[in-house]
Amino acid sequence: MRSNFRPTLAQCRPGFALTICTTLLTLNRPALGADEITHDLLIRGANVIDGTGAPGVVTDVAISDGRISRMGASAGWRARRIVDATGLVLAPGFIDLHSHADRDIRSQRDAENCVRQGVTTLVVGNCGGSPTDATAFFRDLHEGGAGVNIVLLIGHGSVRVAEMGDRNVPPTAGQLTAMRHRVARMMEAGAVGLSTSLRYRPGAYAEMPEVVAVTREIAPYGGFYATHMRDEGVKIEEALEEALHIGREARVPVHISHHKISSASGWGLTQRTLATIDRVRAAGSDVTLDQYPYGAGSSSIGLMVPQPLIAGGTTAFKQRMADPKVLRDTVESVEVEILEKMFEKEQNTRDPKNVRVALARIQIARLAADTRLEGMNLAGILDQRKTLLSVRAGAELVVELVGRGANAIYHTIDDRPDGDVDRVMRHPQTCIASDGVLPAFGEGHPHPRSYGTYPRVLARYVRERRVLSWEEAICKMTGLPARRLGWSDRGLIQPGRRADLVLFDPGQINDTATFARPHAHAVGVSHVWIRGEAVLDGGKMTGNRPGRPIYSVPSANSPGAQLRHDVLELLNRLDVRFGVLAIAGDGREVFAFNADDRFFPGPASDGVAAKSPTLREAGLRGIAPARRDGVVTRTHGQGAGQVDLAVFSQTQARNGSALRVIAAYAGLREDKSESAQTVVQEELVKLLSDHLAQP
């Protein structure tokens, strides 16, 4: 598990990897004094809240080559650009552990709704839904870029559908094996863990043994298990025990997604769930959680009906409802859901006032078939139709809306002072997360959390209500999620760390999106940088897309863990999409990463570019360099500001074994010096050669 990971020198000593690279590149030129260095950026006079939870300090921060290069009093420092941050807070870029941006990142690459909140990294693939080809997903992000970094969880539900369809049956032995193999391949490609949603189909069809078997595949790679639990209402304690059991059986850390009580009759149960989490943590289990700061959740309105009924989509659902008995049973089932979730405990469910309040808790977020209903609640729709309000009428309307494909916002979370939201937020293991998407501005009626989560916490729960201190809140947005991800180079403001940063006005930061008017950007964030490159500058989007995939940090017991970690850390210096294949003299693969990718167009024939070989195909064809030892670089193409490279090397390990290394980079920026390329290439060959020489 990640908690057993043995750190390398680079992880124990922040900035070590940067230091060794810099040293190698400057051996042949005179050393510069600290004050003679010209930094890329100097942020002067900010209140630096570093993400550790420690008190903020007014100081200056310099950035060079995408990393924090220096901190302290900046008198005498030189920089290409200086930002006066007097009166502002500088924090690590916010890390959103729970996002569904994988659905929209191709069409909304700037991720403006997130950037304007101060978010620099999104963890996608939550609630059991994700791309099923991690390599292709990462390749697209490298080629197109984004306004935020992206981290991938593997969606159990998506994997299940890919291997056995949307079926309410247990997997066969062969299907379960295929699911496990797909998960292992995606972890090898750089995913950070597995997510489930056992409340929705198809995850709702999965019994615990299936989930445990699939989750075990992430353990060797240091992954964690993130779960939308099977129940978040009155049965939440049983659901939590199931999640913890899965973690124990699979031997992985557990992360509880958007922890809340989503049933009004269950308000207050977080006292018990948090006590359970404290108990298992004290016994040695690694358990964390996240939440969004709202009194409402958002999902398909199909959540209100038995999940097998919506298999196959709305057309299949309506066909089932044509059977009078099935329709009657479904309406009765929805009545039970309304009584349990929309009414508070011991509330009179026949009082017309209470019925109105209960039905008003369900608000239509999206209904393509009739956009006039978007933003309205069930009580309002029934009033418009001049229908007498009752639980039965509400249930019948829900069934109708399920057949029309509606999404809903459920106002069923206790956000009263000292209620469940406050209680969960104060817990030391709670990270702030959005559960948001990347909406097209002005389209539909999304949950306001997609626009306002982080500023809302800082304005409402820190500045106004003082539920958290500034330092506690920033830690829950940065340092704590970075620890969950196993990162040593992001999430804190320290020399040597990646310069993913946000600068905001503590007196002005606020969310402006509401449930009535959800398409409204947050205010108060002036600057956002990713690896030192501005994405938001003076409150204006720059159009830069420096965001890239961030791959998993492997644990000590993963296959070739230390080698994989060192190779990825090395090649990440070049900030490119890359692949590596190392083949021993006997044909055995020593190391492979993105080995089945195609990086460059092949030779043209009749004006049409052929497909280039994958790295694995190149290895099988025996492609070799012109000389036996050292590194040979071949330039395959050059675009605007980018150079594509392939590197071939053949050498001998210390034990005399032959080694062929085939590596490819796509999109190498011209500002990466030739000496930097050479250093990385030579270190890559040495790493692989030394590994092959080990007994």
**Average pLDDT, integer, range 626-635:** 43
The pLDDT score that the predictor gives to residue 630 is 42
- Residue 503, φ and ψ in degrees, nearest 5: -120, 125
**Average pLDDT, integer, range 360-368:** 89
Report the first-to-last Cα separation within the chain, whole angstroms. 25
The pLDDT score that the predictor gives to residue 591 is 78
- Lowest-confidence range among 114-123, 423-432, 451-460, 542-551? 542-551
Is residue 690 predicted with pLDDT exceeding 70? yes
Are 290 and 256 in contact by the 8 Å Cβ rule? The answer is: yes
**Average pLDDT, integer, range 65-75:** 93
The answer, yes or no, to whether the previous bond of 202 is cis (omega within 30 of 0) is: yes
How far apart, in whole angstroms, are the C-alpha atoms of residue 645 and residue 546? Answer: 20
Q: What is the pLDDT of residues 112-165, one digit of tens each?
A: 999 999 999 999 999 999 999 998 899 889 888 999 999 999 999 999 999 999
Is residue 621 predicted with pLDDT exceeding 60? no
**Average pLDDT, integer, range 168-192:** 94
- Strand blocks (E) in 531-681: 533-537, 540-541, 577-584, 589-593, 601-605, 608-611, 631-639, 642-652, 658-669
Is the Cα torsion angle 385, 388, 391, 392 positive or negative in sign?
Answer: negative
Helices (H) and strands (E) in the chain, counts: 21, 29
Is residue 356 predicted with pLDDT exceeding 70? yes
Is residue 166 predicted with pLDDT exceeding 70? yes
Q: Which residue has the higher pLDDT, 42 or 630?
A: 42
pLDDT band at 694 (very low <50, low <70, confident <90, very high): low
**Average pLDDT, integer, range 180-202:** 93
How far apart, in whole angstroms, are the C-alpha atoms of residue 254 and residue 5? Answer: 16
Angle between helices 208-215 and 173-189 (to 10 degrees): 40
152, 163, 239 from 158: Cα distances, Å = 13, 9, 21
Is residue 692 predicted with pLDDT exceeding 80? no
Angle between helices 561-571 and 674-693 (to 10 degrees): 170
Please give the domain boundaries of the chain with CATH numbers for all domains.
Answer: 1-92+440-475+489-542 (2.30.40.10), 309-408 (no CATH), 561-693 (3.40.710.10)
Q: What is the DSSP letter of 302?
A: G
**H helical segments located in 194-235:** 208-215
pLDDT band at 366 (very low <50, low <70, confident <90, very high): confident
How far apart, in whole angstroms, are the C-alpha atoms of residue 694 and residue 654? Answer: 9
CA 478, 482, 484: angle at the middle one, nearest 5? 125
The edge-to-edge listing of strands for the beta sheet with 430-432 is 94-96, 119-124, 149-155, 193-197, 224-228, 254-256, 287-291, 430-432
The pLDDT score that the predictor gives to residue 20 is 24
pLDDT band at 670 (very low <50, low <70, confident <90, very high): low
Are 65 and 532 in contact by the 8 Å Cβ rule? The answer is: yes
- Lowest-confidence range among 29-43, 218-232, 239-253, 423-437? 29-43
How far apart, in whole angstroms, are the C-alpha atoms of residue 252 and residue 218? Answer: 8
**Average pLDDT, integer, range 487-493:** 93
The pLDDT score that the predictor gives to residue 223 is 95
221, 530, 553, 684 from 565: Cα distances, Å = 11, 22, 7, 12
How far apart, in whole angstroms, are the C-alpha atoms of residue 214 and residue 187? Answer: 12
Q: Which residue has the higher pLDDT, 34 or 56?
A: 56
pLDDT band at 651 (very low <50, low <70, confident <90, very high): low
Are 458 and 34 in contact by the 8 Å Cβ rule? The answer is: no
Q: What is the pLDDT of residues 380-410, one digit of tens each?
A: 999 999 999 999 999 999 999 999 989 888 9
What's the chain's average pLDDT?
A: 84
The pLDDT score that the predictor gives to residue 308 is 84
Is residue 11 predicted with pLDDT exceeding 90? no
**Average pLDDT, integer, range 258-286:** 95
Are 161 and 131 in contact by the 8 Å Cβ rule? The answer is: no
